[in-house]
A and B are shown apart, each in its own frame.
Chain A
Amino acid sequence: MRRSFLRKIQFTLIIFCITNHSLSLYADRHSEAEVKKILNEVESTFNDYIESGVFDYAPREAERARKYLENAKRMILQDERDFAFYELKKVSAHFKLFDAKRKMVNAELDLDHLKKSIK
């Protein structure tokens, strides 16, 4: 009887794991405090970029970063801290891109003006 009871437990566990395959079997590697601290820093830097006009010179990239930030906030509410951490990493990877695009737009505008002025 004990054997069949154990067998039932095993099968129930298998079915449960298969149907809930997204259930994490390991604890999140990042603490809530750590993720929230990173969120505050990233959000503050992103807001600074918005105020400096990032949607002028990098609209697609800024919109994409905004979506990742919203995803991260949603995942924190769902207690998916690891996923949130990686979404925040994606947002912070955009900051270097914003700086590069700002310089690119300025340089190409200058070149465009020069070409027009010597026509």
Chain B
Amino acid sequence: MQKNKKFIFIKTIALMQFTLLYTGALIFFPHQGWTNDKSEAKNAISVAQKAIEFLDKNTYLKKHIPYKEYYNARVYFDTAQYQFSEERDYSNASYFAEMALFEAETAIAIARTRYAHYQKLKIENEYYLEILQSAGRTSSIKFALTKAGFFRENNQHKRIFVDSQLFKKDFSDISKNGKKCLNKIIAVLKFLRKGTLELIAFFPESSSQKDLTEKKLKLIENYFQTQKGISAIKLSTKIVTKTDGIVIGDELFHFHGIEVLLSGIQ
């Protein structure tokens, strides 16, 4: 009986020592999962901080920042920092930091949209005033071309639309904004007696929506011919693959869209 008690006592001591050693090891050499959580949270907070600093320091966008999204980003970010430094809840810190990043990115996109609209209005006001002040057919054609968004490239007048500018989200029809853009092009065409349009539907090489391209082209063709009375002689269509993308800001995009080439300007 005494031997048994001694044996149990030794076992308990051994177990205690093992536990102490193991606990000590875990404190000084933390579990790999904890290290990953902490470093992920730190990285997420750093990325969110950069996005918010971009908004704070960019002098062009500052005037156009949407209050609601910016405020949400700040609140999420502060919560993430608190969770990281005070609560040491790294998965929560990571979550709030990522939410801060999404709100900051949304705020940046909205600010850039507002800035682009503001710049466009400013340039149009200055340019149209200059054109209207001078008389003549050349000025009028210039005005119509600029209003329709055409630019000159390799002796051709070109206008590029991406799908989101022309069509509804389900591609069932042309959107209201798309019809406004197309009406401006029709106005140019009616101005030019010998003007012709080539509609080139393009898609990136890796596209999985090639079937839609014909449908989209048909929608525009129908709009021009049946709704606006443009003769078929003035219209031609084509479908191409576009390998080079379009750069906007510092990002390269591979769009699906329609290129409009205008010829016959004298």
State how many residues of chain B have any CB contact under 8 Å with chain A. 59
Give me 9 other A-B pairs in contact (C-beta within 8 A), A59-B253, A96-B69, A118-B123 excluded: A1-B8, A48-B169, A52-B164, A56-B162, A56-B256, A108-B112, A117-B146, A117-B150, A118-B127
CA distance A95 to B99 in the complex (A): 12
Could you tell me if A103 and B109 are in contact, using CB atoms closer than 8 angstroms?
Answer: yes
Nearest CB in chain A: distance from B201 CB, A:
14
Q: Which of B2-47 contact A (CB under 8 A)?
A: 5, 8-9, 11-12, 15-16, 18-19, 22-23, 26, 31, 33-34
Could you tell me if B112 and A90 are in contact, using CB atoms closer than 8 angstroms?
Answer: no
Q: Which of A1-51 contact B (CB under 8 A)?
A: 1, 4, 7-8, 11, 14-15, 18, 21-22, 48, 51
Q: Is B135 an interface residue (CB 8 A)?
A: no
Q: Which of A81-96 contact B (CB under 8 A)?
A: 83, 86, 89-90, 93-94, 96
Could you tell me if B99 and A93 are in contact, using CB atoms closer than 8 angstroms?
Answer: yes
Could you tell me if B113 and A103 are in contact, using CB atoms closer than 8 angstroms?
Answer: yes
Q: Is B233 an interface residue (CB 8 A)?
A: no
Could you tell me if A110 and B149 are in contact, using CB atoms closer than 8 angstroms?
Answer: yes
Nearest CB in chain A: distance from B71 CB, A:
14
- Main secondary structure on chain A at its contact with chain B? helix
Could you tell me if A117 and B116 are in contact, using CB atoms closer than 8 angstroms?
Answer: no
Q: Is B110 an interface residue (CB 8 A)?
A: yes
Could you tell me if A109 and B170 are in contact, using CB atoms closer than 8 angstroms?
Answer: no
Q: Is B261 an interface residue (CB 8 A)?
A: no
Q: Which of A53-67 contact B (CB under 8 A)?
A: 53, 56-57, 59-61
Report B-chain residues with C-beta under 8 Å of the C-beta of A8: 11-12, 15
- State the total of A-B contacts with C-beta under 8 angstroms: 138
User: 10 tightest CB-CB pairs across the interface, nearest first?
Assistant: A116-B151, A100-B109, A107-B116, A52-B169, A117-B151, A104-B109, A93-B102, A113-B149, A104-B113, A111-B116
- Main secondary structure on chain B at its contact with chain A? helix
Nearest CB in chain B: distance from A82 CB, A:
10
Known: A11-B15, A100-B109. A108 touches B149 (CB 8 A): no
Could you tell me if B109 and A11 are in contact, using CB atoms closer than 8 angstroms?
Answer: no
Contact of A56 among B112, B145, B255 (CB under 8 A): B255
Nearest CB in chain A: distance from B164 CB, A:
5
Residue of A nearest to B33 (CB): A22
Contact of A106 among B8, B106, B165 (CB under 8 A): B165
CA distance A13 to B209 in the complex (A): 57
Could you tell me if B116 and A18 are in contact, using CB atoms closer than 8 angstroms?
Answer: no
CA distance A83 to B11 in the complex (A): 40
CA distance A107 to B109 in the complex (A): 10
CA distance A111 to B26 in the complex (A): 58
Q: Which of B110-155 contact A (CB under 8 A)?
A: 110, 112-113, 116-117, 119-120, 123-124, 127, 145-146, 149-153
Nearest CB in chain A: distance from B55 CB, A:
13
Q: Quick one: which of B18, B105, B119, B256 has the most chain A CB within 10 A?
A: B105
Contact of A96 among B95, B106, B159 (CB under 8 A): B106
Q: Is A114 an interface residue (CB 8 A)?
A: yes
